């Protein structure tokens, strides 16, 4: 019971950090789920995050995997509700008040200013992710390859990410 309560608190808190997209919450998610609560190891979190990139829909549905890993299907449900409800209610309320907020003179400043901070949080997330994932020449080459492919083609990102997994598997089988 206490664990479900902790899960709800942690993910409700994390949801408030998802400014500009879910990735902005990754640094705090790593800290709280791995370092503070020891619900899973850093490699496990990395694996769930990576699998989440292959799942359809909103980009952070991997939180359901963390919930399920810690406390089963009920854990997944608690985490999802906690992660979606606070910001969902806020969006719902602001959506209805928007006609008044649209012409508020501070709105562009807030959007622009928080946008820059959100990009900074995604960069921090990428750095933390890279520390765990880029552990040798092969992972570095794979990350660089995916980045270049996405920059210069219009390929669906799921394809090169799965291809990386297969390359890793092939390297393991032959190595």
Which residue number, 1 or 151, has a Cβ lying nearer to another protein?
151
Name the minimum Å distance from CB 1 to another protein.
20
| Residue 4: closest CA among 73, 85, 87 | 73
Name the minimum Å distance from CB 4 to another protein.
15
Number of other residues whose CB lies within 10 A of the CB of residue 32:
18
Name the minimum Å distance from CB 3 to another protein.
15
Name the minimum Å distance from CB 162 to another protein.
7
Contact 4, 37 (CB under 8 A): no
Name the minimum Å distance from CB 5 to another protein.
20
Which residue number, 3 or 156, has a Cβ lying nearer to another protein?
156
Contact 82, 12 (CB under 8 A): yes
Which residue number, 1 or 152, has a Cβ lying nearer to another protein?
152
Question: Whole-angstrom Cα distance, residue 35 to residue 98?
Answer: 39
Name the minimum Å distance from CB 62 to another protein.
5
Which residue number, 1 or 166, has a Cβ lying nearer to another protein?
166
Which residue number, 6 or 138, has a Cβ lying nearer to another protein?
138
| Cα dihedral: 12, 16, 17, 23 (round 10) | 70
Q: What is the DSSP string of 69-95?
A: HHHHHHHHHHHHHHHHHHHHHHHHHHH
CA 116 to each of CA 48, 64, 153: distance values in angstroms, whole numbers, following the listed order: 27, 28, 26
Which residue number, 2 or 154, has a Cβ lying nearer to another protein?
154
Helix (H, G, I), strand (E, B) or coil at 40: coil
């Amino acid at each position: 019971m206490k664990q479900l309560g902790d899960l709800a608190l942690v993910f409700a808190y994390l949801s408030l950090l998802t400014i500009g997209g879910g990735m902005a919450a990754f640094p705090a998610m790593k800290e709280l789920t791995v370092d503070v609560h020891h619900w899973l190891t850093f490699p496990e979190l990395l694996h769930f995050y990576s699998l989440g990139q292959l799942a359809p829909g909103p980009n952070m549905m991997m939180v359901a995997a963390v919930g399920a890993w810690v406390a089963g299907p009920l854990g997944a449900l608690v985490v999802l509700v906690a992660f979606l409800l606070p910001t969902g209610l806020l969006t719902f309320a602001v959506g209805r008040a928007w006609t008044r907020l649209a012409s508020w003179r501070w709105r562009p400043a807030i959007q622009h200013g928080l946008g820059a901070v959100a990009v900074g949080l995604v960069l921090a997330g990428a750095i933390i992710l890279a520390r765990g994932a880029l552990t040798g020449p092969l992972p570095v080459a794979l990350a660089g390859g995916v980045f270049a492919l996405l920059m210069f083609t219009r390929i669906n990102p799921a394809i090169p990410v799965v291809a990386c997994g297969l390359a890793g598997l092939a390297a393991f089988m032959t190595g």
